[in-house]
Structure 1
Amino acid sequence: MQLLSLHPDKTLGRSTNESTIIGHLKEAYSILLDQQLRNEYDRHLLEKAKKQGMNADGVGLDQYSLDEFTADEIKGIWSMACPRCESEGGMELNEGDLENGTTDGEFGLQLALQCQSCSLWIKVKYYMGDDEEEE
């Protein structure tokens, strides 16, 4: 659906909720632009999924090691191509993501990570060193 087709000037006389849709689009855009708001929204979605009984801890997902990711130490980002869609850098995480990992029941940490281009989820296992991540 094109945004122009929802504009109030183009929908005069129609009894639809286009102004509500435009409001939702504006709100979504402002959240995506602000990294702090985006992080809060992502946390909200994760909590909502947990309450609905969805598994967000990585059980049953294909497992990868952080060593399989390419590290950009200047930016503090680890990335790899998505195993499904092969989008370069589709799987990406940062230091904040690593700090939020959960213990894996052994000696390391893990987190569930979604491709930025498709719907694939994987489990990433890693170990926290003194101040660096390694496996």
Structure 2
Amino acid sequence: MTRQTTATHYEILGLPPPLPNEPPVSAQTLRAAYRRALLRHHPDKCPSKPALNPVPGETLTYTVDQITLAFSTLSDPKARAAYDASLALDRAAATRGLDGGKEGREWKTGIETVDLDDLEGFEEGDGEQVWFRGCRCGDERGFMVREGDLEDAVQEGEVTVGCKGCSLWLKVQFGVVEDGEGG
């Protein structure tokens, strides 16, 4: 019997989970893990060999799509940062007893979405614009968005930032107005 799971991208590729303040795995290591996972879970290569640590009586397999998604997410620095942030939220929820998967409930992170215009702003000494908003944890400038963050996320039109004082997140949406346009 084959079982599908909600394994992390790191588990799918057979990589250790990311540690805080540690550099991410290298592109070469990531490619090697991707190739290894494809071979290990390819039905024509190892049809009878179960994956590592299966549940007794079950074979844990991942599809090529799952492996490819894991690789593409972890290969893109922005996508990896967002994915690692979601993993951190899931771990925080599990430690607080909010992991609803055991009883069939799905726990939502509750990321609040706001417009950039809803934040207060100021200009730093180096001329960079900074926007901020207080958090319910009490930090008056818990959520901070820098002009550089917006420039990096201009294609997406939104940036997700974590509070400096707690584990809450804020999704800030914005639009780019070219000089000479209204507004």
Question: TM-score if structure 1 supplies the norm length?
Answer: 0.48
Using CA pairs under 8 Å that are at least 6 residues apart, name the structure with larger relative contact order, 1 or 2.
1
Question: TM-score if structure 2 supplies the norm length?
Answer: 0.37
- Which has the greater radius of gyration? 2
